[in-house]
Amino acid sequence: MNSASPSSTASRVEPNLKRRRKPLSCEPCRHSKLRCDRQLPCATCLKRGWQDQCLYGETDAAGPSQRRRRTRNSAPVMRVTDTLISPPGQTSDNSSSQSPEPVPGRSPSPEPIQHRWDKILCRPPIEKNAPSSAAGVSFTLSFGPSIPLSELLDLLPSDSVCEYLVSRYFANVVPLFRILHGPTFQKQYLDFLQSPQQTDLSWLALLFAICSLTLKTVPPTDPGLVELWQDQSAPPNLEALSQKYRNAAMMSLAQDQFLVRHNLNTLEALLVLIHTITDCEGAEYGWALLGTAHNIAVALRCHVDSGEAPCIQTERRRRCWAGILILHTYQALLFRDTDLSFLCEMKAPMPADANDNDILPYTILSRPANANEPTHMSLMRFQIRLFHLSTDICNQISSPHRFDEDSLNRLDAAVAAEQQKWDSLYLVDGARNILDTAGYAHWCILQTYAHQLYLLLHRPFHNSRARFRQASRDRCIKSSLALMEIHRQLYELPRLKCYRWMVNGSITCNALHGAVALTSCLLDKHTESDFSQHIAAIDATVHRLEKLRGCSPACASVYPILRHLQSRLASRDPVQPAQINVERRFDDWINNIDWFRPDDIGWDFWSGDFSVPTNELQ
C-alpha cells in the first residue's frame, strides 16, 4: 500500500507543533540581559523605574506561575503607540458588554537601547549605611579613632555664637564663593537645632567648616564672640580655634566614611574647607583635597546635564561643580604645571543666574529681561568664564608651537571684553560704587584674575630681544601695579575691612606675581625712564608683608622673596654697561626656582656684582 500509516503521519507533523518555550525573565530583563528574580514587578524593574513594563510574555497579571491559555479563537493583537490592545470591535470571552481586555504579548523596550546602556554603565550611587553583603556588614575605609557623635557636638560653640558665625558667613563670605543655597542651609540648621543627635555627619562637617572660615574673617575683639572669652582674661586665639573647628570638620567626614560614601553635604563641606585653605594659607596646600572633591563631584554626577527640570537639588550640584572650576582657576594661574583642559570638555551647565530666593523646590523664577543688577550668582558665573579663558591662555603659551601675535591679540581682546562686562555691572559711570561695598569687592577680585592673565599673555613678548614688544612691556607694568594696588586696598581701606582676611592667601600670591613681573620689566635693558614710583609700589608691598608674615604660610613665604627683589632693584645701576645681560640672567633664575620654598632658593646667586653672578645656576 502507498497510503501512509497514522503513526508515520504524526511523526511528520509533530516537529511543526513544538510548544513555545515559557519565558523565565520579564521582558525588560530579557532585552537588557539582566538577572530577573521572577517577581511582579521584579527587583530590577523596581530599581530602574520600569514597573509598568514588567511583563512576562504569556504570563497572567497575577504572577509568572499562572499561565494564560491561548485558543485558536483568540483575537489578534495590534500595537498602537507602544501599547498592546485588542482591535476595535473585538470582545473578550468573558463578557461582550465589557471593554476590551489587554492581551499580553511581547513587551516593548522600556526605553531606547542606548539610554539603557548609558544607565547601566553609569557609576552607581553609594547609599549611606547600605550593607554590602547578606550579613549586613558595610564596607569601610576608616582612618583615625572612632569618635562618638556626642563628642563631636561638644566641640561646637554655644548656639548663640554658632548662629552668629553662620550669619557672618552668609553675609560676608558666601557672596565670594556661593556654593551653598541659603534657604536650604537654613532649613537644615533649624532641623539640627531641633534634634542634634539625628544630624547627618557630613552636614555637621559643613557647619564646622563654616565656623572655621568665619573665625578667620573677624577680629578677636568682635562683640559677637564675647561668650568665647567670658571666662578668660584675654581674647582667645582665634587662629587656634579656627584650626580646631577645621580638624573637627575632617573628623566628622572621616566618621561618615566620606571616601566611600558621600552626598552633596559631603562635597559642600570639602569645598568650603578647600576655599579656606586657598584664601588663607595658599592654593598649593589644597591641591590634594581638590582632587578628592573633583572625584566625588563626578560620582554625584555634578559634571553632566542630567536633563532634570530646574530645582534646588539640580542647582546645588551645578554650584558645586562651579566651585570646583573656580578653585582650579587659582591653580591654573599660580601653577602652570597641570593641563586643566579636560575640565573644559565636561559640558556641565552653569548655575542659574538667579538669587537664592528665586530657586524653588521644583522651579526657578525667571528674571526680568531688562534687569541689569548683579544676582547672587553673577560673580561665580564670571569666574567660570575666566576659568575657560585662563585654560585657553595657559594651553596657548605652553604649547610647543610658536605663540604668535595674532593669538596674543585675540586673547588680550577676550580678557578686555570680560573687564567691560564687570565695569558695566559693578561700577557707576566707570567709578566705584560707594553704596555697594560687596559689589566693589567682587570687582576687585575679578580684576586680580584679569591682570594675572595679562601677565601670562605678555610675559613672553617683553623679555626677549627677537620678540620684544613695547606694548607688552607696558601692559606687564600696568597689570603688575594693579595687582599690588588691589592688595593695598584690601589691606588698608576701611570699607573693605571685612575682606581683609583674603590678603593672607591668594591675594598676596597675586601681589608676588605682580612684583616679580614688575622687577623683570624694570631690569629690562629697554627701560630708560625713571621708574622710582614703581619701585615705591614694591617697597610699600614689602612693608605690608612685613606686618602680615606671621598671619599665614603664604605671607611667611612671600615676604623674604619680596625682600630680595627689593634689594635687587635698590642696587640697580642703569649706567653700568655690564648690566646688559642682567635681565636675561634674572629671568633664567626666576624660571628655575620654587617660589614657595624660599629656604631652598640660592639667594647668593645675586651676591656681589649682579652683572657677573658668583655662583652658576644649577
Tens of pLDDT, residue by residue over 339-395, are 788 888 887 888 988 899 988 888 888 777 666 788 899 999 999 999 889 888 888
Q: Where are the beta strands (DSSP E) in 297-435?
A: 359-360, 363-364, 427-428, 431-432
Distance of CA 595 to the CA centre of its chain: 26
Residue 548 and residue 494: Cα distance in Å, rounded? 17
Kindly report the average pLDDT of the chain as a whole number: 77
Strand (E) or helix (H) holding 66? strand 63-67
Q: With bands split at pLDDT 50, 70 and 90, how would you rate the model's confidence at 284?
A: confident
- State how far Cα 323 lies from the chain centre: 3
Single out the residue of 130, 381, 169, 159 nearest to residue 263, CA to CA.
130
Measure the CA–CA gap between 436 and 427, rounded to whole angstroms: 9
**Amino acid letter, residue 455:** L
Count of Cβ atoms closer than 10 Å to residue 503 Cβ: 28
Of 42-56, 369-383, 421-435, 596-610, the poorest mean pLDDT is in 596-610
Asked whether 89 and 117 are in contact (CB, 8 A), the reply is no
How far apart CA 106 and CA 28 sit, in angstroms, is 10
d(C-alpha 176, C-alpha 468), whole Å: 38
Q: Which of residues 33 and 609 earns the better pLDDT score? A: 33
Q: What does the pLDDT average to over 569-586? A: 54
Among 440, 525, 517, 532, smallest CA distance to 479 is for: 517
Q: Which of 85-94, 139-148, 158-167, 433-442 has the lowest mean pLDDT?
A: 85-94
Tracing cell 528665586 back to the chain, one arrives at: 358
Where do the H-state alpha helices sit in 169-311? 182-194, 201-215, 238-255, 264-280, 287-299
- ∠ CA 566-599-279, nearest 5°, is 75
CA–CA separation, 104 vs 102, rounded Å? 6
Q: Which residue has the cell 465589557?
A: 98
Write down the pLDDT at residue 304.
Answer: 84
Looking at residue 414, what is its pLDDT? 95
215 Cβ partners below 8 Å, 6+ apart? Answer: 165, 238, 241, 242, 245
Mean pLDDT throughout 290-319?
A: 87
**Phi, psi for 200 (deg, rounded to 5):** -80, 135
Q: What is the DSSP letter of 349?
A: P
Find, among 509, 511, 562, 594, the residue nearest to 281 by Cα.
509
* Residue 353 neighbours by CB distance under 10 Å: 17
- Tens of pLDDT, residue by residue over 519-575, are 888 877 555 566 788 889 999 999 999 999 888 888 888 898 898 888 888 876 544
Expressed in angstroms, the distance from the first to the final Cα of the chain is 111
Calculate the CA 379 to chain-centre distance. 14
Nearest-angstrom CA–CA distance, 519 and 360: 52
DSSP state of 327: H
36-69 as b/e, with b when 16 or more CB fall inside 10 Å?
bebebbbebbeebebeebbbbbbbeeeebeeeee
pLDDT band at 177 (very low <50, low <70, confident <90, very high): very high
Whether 189 shows a pLDDT value over 80: the answer reads yes
Higher pLDDT, 611 or 290: 290
Q: Which positions ≥6 away from 199 have C-beta within 8 Å?
A: 149, 191, 192
**Taking the CA atoms of the chain, what radius of gyration do you get in angstroms?**
34
Instruction: Report yes or no: 281 and 552 within 8 Å, Cβ to Cβ.
Output: yes
Cβ–Cβ under 8 Å, residues 470 and 512: no
| pLDDT tens, residue by residue, 49-77 | 777 778 876 444 344 443 333 333 333 43
Cα–Cα distance, 54 to 28 (Å, whole number): 6
**166: amino acid identity, one letter:** V
d(CA 556, CA 554): 5
pLDDT digits (tens, 9 = 90+) for 20-58: 555 678 887 877 777 788 787 888 787 777 777 788 764
pLDDT at 318 exceeding the cut of 70 = yes
Position 363 scores a pLDDT of 82
pLDDT at 498 over 50: yes
Q: 59 in helix, strand or coil?
A: strand
The amino acid sitting at 568 is: R
Cell of 25: 525573565
CA distance 438 to 496: 8
Burial 367-401 (b: 16+ CB within 10 A, else e): eeeeeeebbbbbbbbbbbbbbbbbbbbbebbeeee
Model pTM?
A: 0.70
Query: How confident is the model over 466-491, as pLDDT tens digits?
Result: 567 888 888 999 999 999 999 999 99
Q: Which residues does residue 83 pair with via DSSP β-bridges, in sequence order? A: 80
The grid coordinates listed for 201 are 555627619
> Which of 23-37, 51-65, 421-435, 450-464 has the least mean pLDDT?
51-65
Q: How many CA atoms lie within 13 A of 5 on its CB side?
A: 3
What are 469's three cell numbers? Answer: 614688544
